[in-house]
Amino acid sequence: MESELLRYEQLAEDLSSIIAGGNLRPGERLPSVRRLSRERRLSVSTVLQALHQLEDRGLVEARPQSGYFVRHAPAPRAQPHVRSTPDEAVPVDVSQRLLRVLQTGGQPGVAPLGAA
């Protein structure tokens, strides 16, 4: 059985489709909350919940005293350069490090976080 969308989810999907279709472009203002409420015969809180969902998806942004606007697509993040292998192996003396942790763990005022 296919579950029906809740009213706010349906409104969010409708607005998302309008944005994806290019009918509302980045920077353009969405219809006001009251207008959407009146035209869709939904409560103001239902409309706000749909708009908050679109905010969470990064599709719209709220501007104080101005309304909701379509967000500009975020610029693709530059991927950091990661080396696949280190230049050379570095020897690690595990026994010395373990000994140091055990020695400092018994001192007052030192929490043994290495054992957490």
Q: Where are the domains of the chain?
A: 7-70
pTM for this prediction: 0.61
Per-residue pLDDT of the chain in tens (116 residues, 90 and over written 9): 456 889 999 999 999 999 999 899 999 999 999 999 999 999 999 999 999 999 999 999 999 999 999 998 765 667 777 767 767 777 777 787 777 777 776 777 766 666 55
Give the whole-angstrom CA distance, residue 58 versus residue 71: 7
State the pLDDT at residue 77.
67
DSSP letters, 61-112, are EEETTTEEEEPPPPPPPPPPP--SS-SS-----HHHHHHHHHHHHTSTT---
Q: Distances in Å between the alpha carbon of 23 and those of 13, 37, 109?
A: 14, 20, 63
Give the whole-angstrom CA distance, residue 52 versus residue 103: 53
State the pLDDT at residue 1.
42
The CATH number for 7-70, chosen from 1.20.200.10, 1.20.1050.10, 1.10.10.10, 3.40.47.10, is 1.10.10.10
